[in-house]
Every structure is written in C-alpha cells, then in structure tokens.
C-alpha cells in the first residue's frame, strides 16, 4: 500500500515516481481512503479524487486485505460478488 502523498515532496516528483512504479508493475490499482474503495487506474471516478485521499495497491488481494471493496463503476463483476 502506498499513499499518493508519500511519493514525493512536489506534484512533479510524485507524478514521476508514480509513473515509474506503474511502469515497473508495482502499482496496478488505486483506492479512495475515505470510503475504502479500490479500482482500476484508468477509472474516471478515481481520477477525480484528491491526492491526499488516494492510495495505491499492487494487487486486488492487497486491497481486499486492507479492507477495501471493488469500485462499482470500473470493476462491476467484482463489485457484484
């Protein structure tokens, strides 16, 4: 689990580090800390959240173990289960 704000001191540094982690396969899902929802990085709902509320996961298992539930918008099948 990686909090967005922990990726660097500036927005530029955070963006660079985030891209590196995504390219390396170390981040595959994003989550919203306030409501404990996780989803795909390309989800339109996830892109609107503030950096301070954003968290990243390497796998669905990691998100589920942290108590997060799937997004109803981008992960419809997992959400319905």
Residue 40 belongs to domain with CATH number: 3.40.10.10
- The tally of domains found in the chain comes to 1
Q: Which residues contact 19 (CB under 8 A, 6 or more apart)?
A: none
| Angle at CA of residue 43, ends 56 and 21, nearest 5° | 35
Q: What's the pTM value of the predicted model, to 2 decimals?
A: 0.88
Q: Residue 33: which domain range?
A: 2-80
Backbone angles phi, psi at 39, to 5 degrees: -160, -170
Rounded to whole angstroms, the Cα distance separating 8 from 10 reads 6
Which residues make beta-bridge pairs with 51? none
Give me the pLDDT at residue 49, please.
85
pLDDT in tens, 12-70: 999 999 999 999 999 999 999 999 999 999 998 887 888 899 999 999 999 999 999 99
What count of residues does the chain have? 81
């Amino acid at each position: 689990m990686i909090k967005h704000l922990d990726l660097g001191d500036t927005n530029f540094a955070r963006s660079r580090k985030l891209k590196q982690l995504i390219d390396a396969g170390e981040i595959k899902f994003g989550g919203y800390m306030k409501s404990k929802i996780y989803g795909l990085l390309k989800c339109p709902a996830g892109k609107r959240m503030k950096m301070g509320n954003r968290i990243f996961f390497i796998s669905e298992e990691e998100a589920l173990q942290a108590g997060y539930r799937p997004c109803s918008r981008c992960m419809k099948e997992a959400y319905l289960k």
